[in-house]
Amino acid sequence: MRRGLYLGRFQPYHLGHHEVLKQIAKEVDEIIIGIGSAQKSHEIENPFTAGERVLMVSSALEEFNIKHYVIPIEDIQRNSLWVSHVNSMVPPYEIAYTNNPLVIELLSEAGIRVKQSPLFKRNNYSGTEIRRRMLAGDKWEHFIPEKVVAIIKEIDGVNRLKTIAQSDQE
């Protein structure tokens, strides 16, 4: 049994994440998705709750027909202990997939095999760009799997983002 771990914040889950997971699904028997910064929500950089992100990732993954586990992981104050913290929350795995330099460094120092994936249309398939578009009233739906678009609409996510971006100052 070959399990692979894919870590991300998924604020929101987009087609870049989806392409990476499509590749990972060809390489392993089971996928573990760690939803990072699970404690964060209702912030401009982190609008969606861990539960909403679990829903986004698990709905999108139905397409690949692979057994998967979606596990929220809260941040901790001490980077040097983070990999042990992650490992205490997820099933055993033999390879981790990430392009995040800090995550690569922490996993590698812990002796975990890390594989980087190609970046797909990084200018557009990017959480920052998608949240910017949501706030600006520009089109964002074509950067996200259809099932995830439906979830964001169901939870009225764009209006939440617009509301939390407002200020009560003049």
30 and 61 Cβ atoms separated by less than 8 Å: no
- Residue numbers 110-139 binding ligand NAD by CB under 6 A: 117, 119-122, 125-127
Pick from 39, 79, 159, 163 the residue near ligand NAD by CB under 6 A.
Answer: 79
Contact segment (CB under 6 A) with ligand NAD among 8-16, 55-63, 138-146, 147-155 equals: 8-16
3 and 30 Cβ atoms separated by less than 8 Å: yes
Q: Looking at the DSSP assignment, which residues form a beta bridge with residue 4?
A: 31, 95
Pick from 98, 107, 140, 148 the residue near ligand NAD by CB under 6 A.
Answer: 98
Closer CB to ligand NAD, residue 77 or residue 169?
77
The neighbour count for residue 159, using CB atoms within 10 Å, is 10
49: contact with ligand NAD by CB under 6 A: no
16: contact with ligand NAD by CB under 6 A: yes
10: contact with ligand NAD by CB under 6 A: yes
Pick from 17, 53, 68, 131 the residue near ligand NAD by CB under 6 A.
Answer: 17
Sign of CA dihedral 126, 131, 132, 137: positive
Pick from 1, 2, 51, 76 the residue near ligand NAD by CB under 6 A.
Answer: 76
89: contact with ligand NAD by CB under 6 A: no
The neighbour count for residue 89, using CB atoms within 10 Å, is 13
Supply angle C-alpha 150, 151, 154, rounded to 5.
Answer: 85
**Dihedrals φ, ψ of 109, to 5°?**
-60, -30
Q: Looking at the DSSP assignment, which residues form a beta bridge with residue 60?
A: none
Pick from 37, 50, 60, 61 the residue near ligand NAD by CB under 6 A.
Answer: 37
69 and 30 Cβ atoms separated by less than 8 Å: yes
Give me the residues that bind ligand NAD (CB under 6 A), please.
7-10, 16-17, 20, 36-37, 75-76, 79, 82, 98-100, 102-103, 106, 117, 119-122, 125-127
